[in-house]
Amino acid sequence: MASLRITRQNSIKVMETDDQDARVTALNGYDWPVALPKNIHEADLPMRDISFQAVWTVSSCKSEGNGVHELLHDSVDKYWQSDGPQPHTVTIEFPRKTDICFVMMYLDFKNDESYTPSKIIVHLGSSLVHLDDGLPVEFNEPTGWQLIDLRSRRTNRPSRAMVIQLQVVHNHQNGRDTHIRHIRVLGPSRSRFVAHDRLHVGRPGAVDDFVLPPVSDLNKLISNSRVPPESYYDFLIELQK
């Protein structure tokens, strides 16, 4: 199992130019905005590439030249190739709960044929041992950016998670190993849950002198509070991040 922490910032530029420039842009992995849906909440725009805030782990890789580096490389000529039994997994772990809107995958059936995923399952969770049941996604000879919408079905607002896990469960033509040429994780322009902002809403200057009460006092505070206990705990957890 190979893992990698990427710390550099990714710069995204989308240019409306002639076909040659468009081809070069696609080869450099900068054209994912063309695959975004129209129903993005105004407060979440513009979308941010948050891929490099996470630690990435793949279940296996064919060789040193087909691992996480290639999965996150700017060129779609490079790719991750698995080397093991299915399901093949890509695990993306953020240091804290993070607002997540979409996962974008660049697939190329024309070049990869039986290595191209035909079905994946996307899990979200607070840890590797607390993942949800998963969202199944199927592909039919895909070429280009494939969008996986992880937003709330009710509100179209971001989901919150610390872990994303993609499981490749089937390939086209019953292929064994898989090729994925890009994965990008997209979040809103600004998190909806910022501890600093929550404190300022209550009282200006509270950030400087805020002290988390001892555990022995928490139950007393909660029992005397009109705020539901689960909400109060969530609030305190957010403050510690």
- Looking at the domain that runs over 2-187, which CATH code has it been given? 2.60.120.260
Could you tell me the residue ranges of all domains in the chain?
2-187, 195-239
φ, ψ for residue 75, nearest 5 deg:
-100, 130
Secondary structure of 21-64 in the HEC alphabet? HHHHHHHCCCCHHHHCCCCCCHHHCCCEECHHHCEEEECCCCCC
Question: What's the CA gap between 198 and 187, in Å, rounded?
Answer: 20
Write down the pLDDT at residue 15: 28
- Tally the C-alpha atoms within 13 A of residue 13's C-alpha that lie toward its C-beta: 8
State the pLDDT at residue 191.
Answer: 81
At 64 the pLDDT is 78
Predicted pLDDT of residue 24: 38
Taking 70 as the pLDDT cut, the residues of the chain under it are 1-30, 193-241
Q: What type of residue sits at position 203?
A: R
* Res 112: pLDDT: 97
- At 33 the pLDDT is 86
**Amino acid in the structure at residue 32:** W
What is d(CA 180, CA 80) in angstroms, rounded to the nearest whole number? 5
Contact of 3 with 55, CB cutoff 8 Å: yes
d(CA 205, CA 209): 7
